Amino acid sequence: MVIIILTEDLIYRKPTFGDVEAIYDLVNDYANQGVMLARSRNTLYETLRDMLVAEEAGRVIAVGGLHIIWEALAEVRSMAVAPAEIRRGIGAEIVRRLMAEGAALGVTRVFTLTYKPGFFQSLGFRVITKEELPPKVWKDCIDCPKFPNCDEVALIKEIG
């Protein structure tokens, strides 16, 4: 059961350059715990247009990105919610908004690679083998410290 607590100060928006440090801290705090892949500041700047943040009382409390991979295929990545804000439905709302954004572009399939498959399964994603994903997906994996021994779980959802 997800408890959703919304306040009038909670807004979802596209990030700005001024949000990069907060996003960096949020994502890399999880990466330091081994439950998410680290992202460099350079990567965050390069993919800023892919992202959506949740802000409350002037503070970024969650982030997620939708990265277009190939024809009608996109990836939800860098999904992170501040620990004190978990179980408010904020992460689920970010994923829903990212999928709607993707659908508007013509995306029909959204996948993710994650250490938290239960979260994505609760949103209708299903577990698949990594081999079911097209080779184009793996271009970013070469820079990953876990390559070629990826232990993330692959999930996918049909949308649009």
pLDDT tens figures, 20-51? 999 999 999 999 998 888 899 999 999 999 99
Residue 154, both tokens: 């692959």
Q: List, in order of start, the domains of the chain with CATH numbers.
A: 10-158 (3.40.630.30)
Sequence-distant (6+) residues with CB within 8 A of 136 are 69, 70, 73
Whether the bond between 148 and the residue before it is cis, its omega within 30 degrees of 0, is: yes
pLDDT tens figures, 148-159? 667 789 999 999
Rg, C-alpha atoms of the chain: 15
pLDDT tens figures, 81-116? 999 999 999 999 999 999 999 999 999 999 999 989
The residue written with tokens 């715990």 in the block is: 33
- Cβ(39)–Cβ(78) below 8 Å: yes
Average pLDDT (133-156) is 72
Which residues lie across from 66 on neighbouring strands? 76
